[in-house]
């Protein structure tokens, strides 16, 4: 597979050369254009907490560069580097380097990137390697391919709680198909395998085994009439859960793929698929969709996957009263325990709805509800309010399974809506989430409630912006309940024709656990930003945090954080022409 990918990239390079020789008018274009950005952030922290494990000084450097050759070939690249190692729930790097060179209808991926082949095959999983996408505009054929490392090897550390050992996982795949006039069909094949010899030590404490996965997918869509569209997506996944187990005789559908994957004692296969039909009506659409995912279905091309479910639902989307009311959602039936192997079975009515009401130019209300299963991040607004450094809570792969979600967001313009002198706005939000942990059974149910109200004023005469707010969070967990609430105030004002901006905010919150007060926090934040000719920007932020913990060994903790950042944005054109002009002047 790697040889095929290298051959394709080589062919594309020669195509660049031959095609460039046929182009006309290249002399009139800028041969090279450079654009990009470079930013650096430096964080200095100090804390009176004896258990503080933050580095006193840390930095993050990131940047991006795009090189354009004759406005035909584009080579974008990006990188991120830090001296601090962040804790992830999965073995991935924070320090990354990636680029996506493109030429006309050819796009390549080099370094750290992610690609999407399909919902059930490879869906946004990060890899370190190479990839390519071919989308010729005058052809019906489309092709994508990838090869690289999907998980890095991590040795087991029995003394670390956050350590997640892992075998190095290599993978490759391709997606090929045709599309024309809104009709398309694609075949996807994705293969990933853990390298059994990638660890020096044998994993003892963790129940992690080297695995292998082959996924074959087929998806497409077609328009029967002008108003009717059909879509289908189906995938077959073969997984070997333990590569140390012996081989066994091929049987069933797996025997047709023995040249790709070796049949073992730990091997199973699963199906997943969905079909849908949509009918366009005036101001909206209605449809019908069906989905089934076998129990145990998984793919190494995605992080998390909801399986063991079957649902059928009717979908709708409609604008009413000349756009004053927008309604969308679906209603259906869902069941699990498809193989009748679980102790409990759930058969339930599943719905999701989104309602947006705009009765006039003062009021905007949005309401959403869903009891479909999904994965998301559970974070309280106080995680950000009480954050000491910009890189806390950076574990972006910490997912939680959501089974029910309700949200209400509203905004009201107060006073004179013309905004000539003052702009006043009142916003109120509420969110409820019912969740179950990925690591525990469905009996481990948690309920999260978040609410907030903000009143903001923008004074155009004095150029002063202010916001007064109050937030609350209540969490009902199997281990107990917690409640946090508190007000906040923020002020900001630009100076020197908006080149400089000063910011100040103060917040206070108090936390309770099982109705008993456990802590309180008072946070002061100061910020200043300054721009020079839109290319250079400087940021200086200071934080003073005063925390009190009740009934703790260290009852009072004072923390100070100073963050300095610099960003440079540039765009350079006519590089060779400028050099020629300088040479002429010197002569």
Residue with tokens 């404490």: 205
Measured distance CA(273)–CA(271) in Å, rounded: 7
The whole-number pLDDT of residue 321 equals 85
Ramachandran region, residue 159 (left: φ > 0; alpha: ψ -120 to 50; beta: rest) = alpha
- Nearest Cα neighbor of 301 from 379, 457, 153, 193 is 193
Q: Are 435 and 445 in contact (CB under 8 A)?
A: yes
Distance from C-alpha of 307 to C-alpha of 276, rounded to nearest angstrom: 19
**How far is Cα 375 from Cα 311, in angstroms, rounded to an integer?**
17
pLDDT of residue 91: 47
Please tell me the distance from the alpha carbon of residue 455 to that of residue 468, in angstroms, as a whole number: 5
Nearest partner of 6 among 104, 114, 147, 125, judged by Cα: 147
Structure-block tokens of residue 110: 């080099």
How far apart, in whole angstroms, are the C-alpha atoms of residue 505 and residue 454?
A: 14
| Separation between Cα atoms, residue 304 and residue 398, nearest integer Å | 10
- List the structure tokens of 101: 């060179």
> If you ran DSSP here, which 8-state letter would residue 283 be given?
T
> Where are the strands (E) in 135-211, listed by range?
141-151, 169-180, 183-194
CA distance 232 to 217: 11
> Whole-model pTM?
0.68
Look at residue 578 in the predicted model and tell me its pLDDT. Answer: 47
pLDDT at res. 552 = 59
Listed residue (363, 462, 371) closest to 414, CA to CA: 363
pLDDT score of 173:
95
CA neighbor of 106 nearest in space, from 14, 3, 219 = 14
C-alpha triplet 551, 556, 559: angle, nearest 5°:
140
- The pLDDT value given to residue 533: 84
Q: What average pLDDT values come out for the chain (587 residues) when binned by 10 residues?
A: 41 40 50 84 86 81 79 72 55 65 87 91 92 92 95 82 84 94 94 92 83 95 92 95 84 76 87 94 91 94 85 91 88 88 79 91 91 58 55 48 84 81 91 68 74 92 92 86 92 91 94 87 93 90 88 75 92 61 49
Q: Are strands 141-151 and 123-134 parallel, antiparallel or unpaired?
A: antiparallel
pLDDT at residue number 72: 65
The pLDDT of residue 326 is 92
CB-based contacts of 562, cutoff 8 Å, min separation 6? 43, 44, 45, 540, 541, 542, 543
**Cβ-contact 409, 429 below 8 angstroms:** yes
The one-character DSSP state at 121 is: S
The DSSP letter of residue 254 is G
Which pLDDT score, from 0 to 100, does residue 528 have? 95
Distance CA 17, CA 22 (A): 9
pLDDT score of 24: 44
Cβ–Cβ < 8 Å for 166, 154: yes
Q: Are 437 and 386 in contact (CB under 8 A)?
A: no
Report the SS3 class of residue 288.
strand
Question: What residues have CB less than 8 Å from 280, skipping those under 6 apart?
Answer: 226, 227, 228, 229
Give the pLDDT confidence score for residue 84 in this predicted structure. 64
Residue where the block lists tokens 């997912």: 399
Instruction: With H, G, I as helix, E, B as strand and everything else as coil, classify residue 576.
Output: helix
Structure token pair of residue 135: 């989308």
DSSP characters for 488-538? EEEEEEEETTTTEEEEEEEEEEEEEETTEEEEEEEEEEEEEEEEETTTEEE
Separation of first and last alpha carbons in the chain: 56
3-state secondary structure of 585: helix
């Amino acid at each position: 597979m790697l040889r095929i990918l290298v051959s394709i990239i080589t062919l594309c390079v020669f195509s660049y050369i031959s095609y460039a020789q046929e182009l006309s008018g290249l002399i009139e274009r800028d041969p090279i254009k450079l654009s990009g950005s470079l930013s650096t952030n430096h964080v200095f922290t100090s804390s009176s907490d004896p258990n503080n494990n933050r580095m006193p000084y840390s930095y993050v450097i990131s940047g991006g560069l795009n090189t354009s050759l004759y406005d035909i070939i584009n080579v974008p690249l990006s990188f991120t580097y830090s001296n601090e190692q962040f804790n992830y729930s999965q073995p991935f790097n924070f320090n990354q380097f990636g680029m996506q060179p493109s030429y006309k209808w050819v796009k390549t991926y080099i370094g750290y990137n992610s690609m999407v082949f399909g919902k059930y095959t490879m869906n946004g999983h990060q890899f370190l390697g190479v990839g390519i996408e071919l989308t010729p505009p005058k052809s019906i054929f489309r092709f994508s391919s990838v090869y690289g490392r999907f998980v890095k090897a991590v040795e087991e550390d029995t003394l670390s709680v956050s350590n997640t050992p892992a075998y190095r996982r290599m993978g490759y795949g391709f997606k090929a198909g045709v599309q024309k006039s809104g009709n398309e069909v694609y075949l996807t094949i994705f293969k990933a395998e853990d390298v059994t010899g990638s660890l020096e030590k044998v994993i003892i404490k963790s129940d992690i085994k080297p695995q292998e996965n082959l996924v074959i997918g087929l998806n497409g869509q077609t328009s029967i009439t002008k108003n009717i569209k059909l879509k289908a997506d189906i995938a077959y996944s073969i997984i070997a859960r333990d590569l140390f187990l012996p081989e066994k005789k091929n049987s069933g559908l797996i025997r047709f793929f023995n040249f790709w994957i070796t049949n073992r004692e730990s091997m199973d296969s699963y199906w997943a698929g969905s079909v849908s039909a949509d009918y366009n009506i005036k101001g909206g659409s209605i449809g019908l969709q069906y989905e089934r995912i076998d129990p145990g279905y998984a793919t190494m091309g995605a992080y998390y996957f909801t399986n063991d479910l079957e649902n059928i639902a009717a979908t709708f989307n409609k604008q009413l009263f000349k756009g004053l009311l927008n309604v969308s959602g679906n209603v259906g039936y869902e069941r699990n325990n498809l193989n009748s192997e679980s102790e409990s079975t759930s058969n339930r009515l599943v719905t999701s709805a989104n309602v947006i009401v705009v009765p006039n130019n003062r009021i905007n209300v949005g309401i959403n509800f869903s009891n479909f299963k999904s994965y998301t991040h559970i974070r309280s607004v106080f995680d950000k309010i009480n954050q000491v450094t910009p890189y806390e809570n950076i574990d972006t792969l910490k997912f939680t399974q959501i089974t029910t979600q309700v949200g209400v967001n509203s905004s009201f313009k107060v006073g004179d809506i013309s905004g000539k002198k003052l702009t006043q706005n009142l916003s109120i939000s509420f969110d409820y989430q019912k969740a179950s942990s990925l690591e525990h059974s469905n009996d481990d149910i948690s309920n999260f409630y978040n609410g907030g109200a903000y009143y903001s004023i923008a004074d155009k005469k004095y150029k002063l912006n202010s916001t007064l707010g109050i937030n609350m969070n209540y969490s009902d967990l199997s281990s107990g309940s917690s409640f946090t609430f508190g007000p906040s105030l923020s002020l900001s004002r630009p100076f020197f024709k908006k080149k400089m901006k000063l910011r100040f905010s103060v917040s206070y919150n108090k936390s309770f656990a099982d109705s008993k007060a456990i802590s309180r926090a008072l946070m002061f934040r100061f910020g200043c930003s300054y721009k020079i000719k839109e290319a250079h920007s400087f940021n200086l932020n200071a934080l003073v945090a005063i925390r009190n913990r009740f009934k703790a060994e260290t009852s009072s903790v004072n923390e100070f954080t100073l963050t300095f950042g610099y960003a440079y944005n540039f765009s350079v054109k006519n590089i060779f022409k400028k050099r020629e002009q300088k040479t002429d002047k010197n002569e």
